[in-house]
Structure 1
Amino acid sequence: MSATVAPASVTSVARPALVQLDAIHKSYGEHVVLDDVNLKLAAGEVMAIIGPSGSGKSTLLRCVNLLEQPTSGRVTLAGVTVEAGKPTPRKDLVQLRRAVGMVFQSFNLFPHLSVLRNICLAQERTMGRSRAEAESVSMQLLKRVGLADKAEQYPARCSGGQQQRIAIARALALDPQVMLFDEPTSALDPELGLEVLAVMRELADGGMTMIVVTHEMHFAEDVSERVLVMADGKIVEQGPSAMVMRDPQTERAKRFLSAVKNR
C-alpha cells in the first residue's frame, strides 16, 4: 500500500502545536539556506529530520530556539511568538529559550569543571537553584543517563559517548519543554553512538517532545513519529516515519534514501 505523505506545508498532527514555524526563510546574502519552511510539532511528538548535507537541517533546528535569526517568517514556541525583523522583548526571548534544550554535534562541556559542575552551573545561574538543589537534580539526571559514577570526573576522562550523555543531562536539567538534537551521534564511533541513542529512545518513550536532525535511519524510522526529508532548503516530503522511510513518494526523497541504504 502506498504511503500517504502530507505536503511540505501541512502536518497531520491533530494535537495543539508546541512548536510552529511559519514561512521561515534564511539567507546569507544571495545564498538561500531555508526557503519557505513550515512545520508544526505537538507536545510529546518526536520528529526526525533527514536529508543530504547542506540541505538546511541544522539551520532549521537553530531557528527554533533563535540561535539563528530567520531572515523572514515567524517562530512560535511554548506560547511565545517571534516574528523576524521585529523587535522581541527580552523576557519573551528568555522565555522561549528557557523552553528549549539543545544538544549539539560537539559536546561543548567546560573542560575545567567536573561533570557535576557542568550540569549544575546553568541551573544556578539561569534558574536560581541553590548549589545543593542543583546537585540533587544533576545526580538524578546522571543516574538516568547511566553516569552517576562520573560526577567528580572531568570531561576529558570520559569517552565521547559519555560526554554526549552528560550534555543531554545538562540540557534536561533546565526542565525544557522541547529537546533539539543536532546530529548528536555524528562525531561518535558506532558503539558509543548506541549509548546516546539509547538515552534518546528512553526520553522519547517518556513523552519528551523532540526534534532530531540525524543520519541514523533506524532511529528515524523506529523512534520518531514523523520524518521530514529536507533538500535544497525545503521540506520535500514528510509523513509517518515508517511510510516515508519505506515508501517515499517524491523523487528527491527516493534518491536520498536509496543512496543512504545502498552505500
Structure 2
Amino acid sequence: MTLTAGNTLISLKALSKHYGTHTVLDRIDLEVKSGEVLAIIGPSGSGKSTLLRCINYLEPPDGGSVTIGTTTIDATKPVERAELSGLRRRVGMVFQSFNLFPHMSVLRNVSLAQERVLGRSRREADERSMQLLTRVGLADKAGQFPVRCSGGQQQRIAIARALALDPEVMLFDEPTSALDPELGLEVLAVMRELAESGMTMIVVTHEMGFAENVSDTVMIMADGHIVEKGPSAEVMRNPQQERTRRFLRAVHDR
C-alpha cells in the first residue's frame, strides 16, 4: 500500500516499558500521520528516548503494539525475524552520538548499509550516497575519514546514512545535544529541509525553537506519560496543563 499525506503512518497502542519495578512508558497511545513532524519534549527521565527506541524495537516493549505502515508487531507475542526486519526497514534513526565507522571514509559510511541491507551494487550505493552528501552539504567530504569532520558534519553524515536506506519515517534522539550551538544550527538546517520535503519525523529535542517553528505537533512527556499534545505553536505559547507550563518555565528560565 502506498501511503499518501494525511494517512496514519505510525500507530502505538498501549505501549509499555518497564525496568524491574520502574515504569518507563505507561500504556502510550500515539498516532503520527504521513508527512507529520512530531517534536517530543519534556524533562529528563520522562521516557522520550525509550519511546523512540521502542518504536524501532531497539528496546523491545513489554506490552502494546507498534504499527508502521502495514507492519504491526504485538509486544505480547513472539516476534518473527521477518516482522522485525520489515519494521526496521521502514525506520531511520539518528542518535545523540554519531556512531560512524572511524576506519571508513565518509562515502563508505553512507554506502555500506545500502549494499548489505538493500542489495545495491557498490556503484549504485555510491551514487545514492553522493546525492545525499550533496543534500546535506558535504559532498566535498566524501573521501575523508570522520575524524577530519566537525561534530556537526559528522551528525549530518549520520543523517545521510539513515536516509540512504529510504526510510518512511526518521527518528531523531536529541541530535544536537552533543554539539555546540553553532554546529547544532547546521544539523537543524538539514532537519528543517527534511521537514519541508515531507519526511515523516519524530524528534526528541531540547531545541524549543525547532519544536515551535518547524514541527507540526508538540508532545510533552513526563513520568512515562503523555502530558499534553497538540499543534506546536498552540502548545508552546498557550499550554493547557500545569505540568507543561512548569516545564516550559524551567526551560525559558535557563
Instruction: State TM-score, norm by structure 1.
Output: 0.94
Alignment-derived partner of residue 98 in structure 1: 89
**Per-residue displacement from partner, 1:57-95 (whole Å, max 9, x unpaired)?**
000011111111111111001211111120122212111
Aligned residue pairs, count:
250
Aligned partner of 2:210 among 210, 214, 219: 219
Alignment-derived partner of residue 186 in structure 1: 177
Q: How does 1:55-66 map to 2 (within 5 A)?
A: 55-66=46-57
Q: Structure 2 CA distance, aligned partners of 1:173 and 1:15?
A: 24
Alignment-derived partner of residue 3 in structure 1: none
**Percentage of matched positions with identical amino acids:** 72
Alignment-derived partner of residue 21 in structure 1: 12
Q: Structure 2 CA distance, aligned partners of 1:230 and 1:27?
A: 16
Aligned partner of 1:166 among 151, 157, 174: 157
Residue 198 of structure 1 aligns to a residue in which SS?
helix
Q: Is the 8 A contact 2:6 2:35 kept in 1?
A: no
Alignment-derived partner of residue 233 in structure 2: 242
Q: Structure 2 CA distance, aligned partners of 1:94 and 1:54?
A: 29
Residue 75 of structure 1 aligns to a residue in which SS?
strand
Poorly superposed stretches of 4+, deviation over 2 Å: none
Aligned Cα RMSD in Å?
Answer: 0.9
Alignment-derived partner of residue 116 in structure 2: 125
Aligned partner of 2:221 among 227, 230, 245: 230
Q: Which runs of 5+ in 1 are unaligned?
A: 1-13
Q: Structure 1 CA distance, aligned partners of 2:130 and 2:15?
A: 39
**Per-residue displacement from partner, 1:217-248 (whole Å, max 9, x unpaired)?**
00000000000000000000000000000011
1:29 maps to a residue whose letter is G
Aligned partner of 1:113 among 100, 104, 115: 104
Instruction: Please state how far the C-alpha of 1:170 moved relative to its aligned partner.
Output: 0.1
**Per-residue displacement from partner, 1:27-50 (whole Å, max 9, x unpaired)?**
011011011111000100000000
Q: Which runs of 5+ in 2 are unaligned?
A: none
